[in-house]
Chains A and B, each alone.
Chain A
Amino acid sequence: MSKPIKATNDFVVKFANVNGSGSASANELFARAILRMGVPIATRNIFPSNIQGLPTWFEVRVSGQGWVGRRGGCDIVVAMNPQTWDKDIASIDPGGYLFYDSSKPMPESKFRSDVNVIGMPLTEICNRTYSDPRQRQLFKNIIYVGALTSILDMELPAVEKLISDQYGSKPALLESNIRAVRMGHEYAQEHLSGICNLRVAKADAVGDRIFLNGNDAAGLGCVYGGATVAAWYPITPSTSLAEAFMKYCRKYRVDPETKKNKFAIIQAEDEISAIGAVIGASWNGARAFTATSGPGISLMQEFLGLAYFAEIPAVIFNVQRGGPSTGMPTRTQQADILLCAYASHGDTKHVMLFPEDPRELFEMGASAFDLAERLQTPIFVMEDLDIGMNDWLCEPLTWDESRVYDRGKIMSAEDLDAGKTFGRYLDVDGDAIAYRTLPGTHATKGAYFTRGSSRDRFAKYSEDGSVYVDNMQRLLRKFETAKSLAPAPVVHKAREKARYGAIYFGSTSAAMAEARASLEGLGLHLDTLRIRAFPFADEVVEFINSYDQVFVIEQNRDAQMRMLLVNECAIDPARFISVLHYDGTPITARFITSAIAERLHMKAKEAAE
């Protein structure tokens, strides 16, 4: 028998539930109560592509130290789903705990000798207390939250306060929920005290941080960034982004006097139409975006090539999920990197942004419109399901009041009247970005014909090879300009001089921060670089060249970011070591730590031999 795990403010709780049973709100209540006690948490929802009946898990990482990524492993499982019982029991760390519904006797073979069992007759209590089957089910969840409050030594008032915040206006619901939570708490006080050595202790480690999911943050970023047109087609996990935009628009974008909308949202018939509308609106001078996931990007390919070649701004949020094909639509991956980098036929390259959490997603979501208009090209905001659909603890959102939208190079009627030369594809400033005019600007000057076929610097149709090459070369130079405008990478130096570097991006960031600290604790020093944008800044190449070898940590099978680095920076592939996590669950600190430690120990051993 392993020693029971003893931990305060540093453990992982995993709830195993059945989808559609009302567990989500109860589990969230539990998580938020810990947050209210001043203890940082990281929550991850692992849910099925279904509405009711399939297994779903909710993981709560309690971390007094403030790690907000997934740690890996779990210390206590709340096993409420018989379908996944065996797998759930197997996932508990030795010395961990199992909380289960003990209403029906279970054979001993169903338990583990190295796991501490906390049984509570939840069904029995519910059947005794409630007659309505739906209530029996719903309150079972609230009752176990009450019991956990006691078992983990949490503050019951924190839970009750949250319930009253939620149901303040509905007295009947408020009263019944409070009653259920107390019922669970009392039972555990009486029967289950002293079994569990996991504890939540009040702290002051949350500060002014906020708890927000990425799709909400992105939707809000679009409102702040001045998007007026959104066209989208429902697809998990991006749907809630478009819905968030709608929600925030209704709140902040309705003219108070006329009650009219300063936004237009179209639910398109498919992703092709969605990106078409975005391109049409952007061509006509509105800030427009679409939100989608991998399959949607596949459908948009032809249009993306048009936008690249005809140089039309567009903002595309790609909330990445597990591919290929329908793949794992409710699981996370970073597997659309190459798809987006080179989207469409012919020679194309696209700008991508990689936010690390909802806060940065808000910022990048807003600034993507500046970039799109400045560069007159599609901008991909590369979210993933992990960021998009999970609540993350992150720094508060900020907005500089003096910030002005960068509308890019648009020639006005005054410019045209002043006799400025207008060539739609004429590079006058040396940055390879030409001026555009918007339809309706001037009665006799500045009109041009936009097309996906080759044309000269003055937008006149041309099948002349040299004219085509001239334009394609300018587009390459424009991509160089993009380097200087896109967000710079973030470098972190180890305490001691490091022989190895590590590159990561996007939602891996939180787990990577913890892994870096763990590795440092093991005496393994790594300098790290977080990629925030493609095209890669020169710093990225310099970083790679500064180390014996560089780990590239990513959440896909084929090491797509590594491929892009090899390809775009002309670097010897042998200089990279890939760390790949692609089972659809968010990468964990333990996974990264052990993968890197193993390789470094192996290297050390090789060197010693």
Chain B
Amino acid sequence: MTYLAKPKFHHPALPKNEHGFTHRDYEGSISTLCAGCGHDSISAAIIQACFELNIEPHRLAKLSGIGCSSKTPDYFLGQSHGFNSVHGRMPSVLTGANLANKQLIYLGVSGDGDSASIGLGQFMHCVRRSVNMLYVTENNGVYGLTKGQFSATADRGSTSKAGGTNNDSALDLVGLALQIGATFVARSFSGDKKQLVPLLMAGLSHPGPAFIDVVSPCVAFNNHAGSTKSFEFVRAHNEAVNRLDFMDAREPITVDYEPGTSTEVALHDGSKLRLAKLHGDYDPHNRIAAMNYLQSRAAAGELVTGLIYLDDNPRDMHSMLNTVDVPLNGLGEKELCPGSATLDKINASLR
């Protein structure tokens, strides 16, 4: 890590988005992670995604648990409220925050220790409850802050830096998210910003439970031969099922693909996704097929990335709870308190 802050001033011609913010306005504190950490690339991708999506920073709340990945919300979106909560428990805090104000964008940032081990239950239930959020795991297969223990996403047979072999089966968060009702599921790689940024943009725009698992190598403890979460291994085994471009509703489509190799997906807010098919007949709208494909490629030692599943009819916890349109945190005694006359009636019914 560096301890030298970037100067605040910047080139006057730095591009601004429609709210007048430059990408610098989406930055946060200086990262305290190791130089070369995959997580810092993800932070950079989040900054770019939010800038390009024209998100007003204060309309987004970023929440995390505990661990290297969970530290990162401090390193992006300095103008957003952030909450670094308890190990493995970010999903419940995010759920509560979302209940209080349905009008903000919620970004949950977690890791494989935080979400696949101590927080597996909360991760599952939060997705199951259809909380409108983008949930990102920065997945490196290792406990970094405690110096190199295997996490639950480490593949069986992979080795630790200290030389041990992992004998336990790996948990696949993407597979679980598909099973329990996430309506947007993707996987990406911290080293592939071109793939990651549009996925983040699409995930942030998705009005339902969106999940992106980002394989993010740990340069300090899990980037050696024998690791299946190293830069080298992921690059060699990455099987992207599609390439995707996120297009703002107003933006002209600029990327051209060969006819027949791409499809457009209209999103709820009017924006569009253009999917370049890299694998002939892969259909991201078929959940069961997606699960099968994931399993079969995993058996072949490949890591499927890209937009794996998208439900065109996303669900949201609030619509199931039938909450009022305004945020609950804005209601006062006038709207909430039944008053003394009603209480008199209640008293009368209790005699």
Q: Which residues of A contact B (CB under 8 A)?
A: 206, 208-212, 220, 223-224, 226, 228-229, 231, 252-253, 255, 258-266, 268-270, 272-286, 288, 302-303, 306, 396-401, 403-405, 437-444, 447-453, 461
Contacts and interface: CB of A to CB of B under 8 A. Distances in A.
B2 interface: no
B96 A405 contact: no
Interface string B62-81: 01000000000110001111
Contact of A401 (B85, B97, B340): B340
Nearest to A251: B338
Contacts of B122: 269, 272-273, 276
Contact of A303 (B86, B318, B333, B344): B86
A228 B350 contact: no
Contacts of A262: 323-324, 328, 331, 335-336
Contacts of A285: 100-101, 329-330
A226 B332 contact: yes
Indicate the member of A252, A266, A441 with the most B CB atoms within 10 Å: A266
A258 B350 CA distance: 30
B301 interface: no
A261 B322 contact: yes
Contact of A444 (B79, B104, B331, B336): B79
A397 B321 CA distance: 30
Contacts of A441: 58
A396 B347 contact: yes
Contact of A260 (B325, B333, B350): B325
A265 B122 CA distance: 17
A439 B61 contact: yes
A159 B325 CA distance: 48
Interface of B: 19, 29, 56-59, 61, 63, 73-74, 78-86, 89, 91-101, 103-104, 121-122, 125, 129, 318, 321-325, 328-333, 335-340, 342-344, 346-347, 350-351
A269 B339 CA distance: 33
Contacts of B342: 252
A264 B99 contact: yes
B145 to A, nearest CB: 12
B97 to A, nearest CB: 4
A262 B342 CA distance: 17
A453 B67 CA distance: 12
Contact of B100 (A260, A288, A398): A288
Contact of A398 (B57, B97, B333, B340): B340
Nearest to A448: B81
A510 B104 CA distance: 48
B100 A284 contact: yes
27 contacts: A260-B325, A262-B324, A262-B336, A268-B125, A269-B122, A276-B86, A276-B89, A276-B96, A277-B99, A278-B96, A280-B92, A280-B100, A284-B96, A286-B329, A397-B346, A397-B347, A400-B340, A437-B81, A438-B329, A439-B61, A440-B58, A440-B101, A440-B103, A447-B57, A447-B79, A450-B81, A451-B83
A440 B89 contact: no
Contact of A261 (B79, B81, B321, B339): B321
A362 to B, nearest CB: 9
Contacts of B63: 280
Given A264-B321, A273-B125, A444-B79, A228 B329 contact: yes
Nearest to A279: B93
B112 to A, nearest CB: 20
A275 B122 CA distance: 12
B3 to A, nearest CB: 13
A437 to B, nearest CB: 8
A226 B99 contact: no
Given A276-B85, A286-B329, A269 B125 contact: yes
Nearest to A231: B96
A212 B329 contact: no
A397 B92 CA distance: 34
Contacts of A229: 96, 99-100, 328
Given A281-B99, A284-B329, 7 more contacts: A229-B99, A229-B100, A258-B325, A303-B86, A399-B337, A440-B61, A450-B84
Given A228-B331, A443-B57, A260 B322 contact: yes
A405 B332 contact: yes
Contacts of B351: 206, 208-211
A261 B324 contact: yes
B89 to A, nearest CB: 5
A443 B58 contact: yes
A302 B59 CA distance: 29
A394 to B, nearest CB: 9
B346 A277 contact: no
Contacts of B96: 229, 231, 276-284, 286, 288
B333 A226 contact: yes
B89 A286 contact: no
Contact of B324 (A255, A303, A403): A255
Contact of B337 (A211, A224, A275, A448): A224
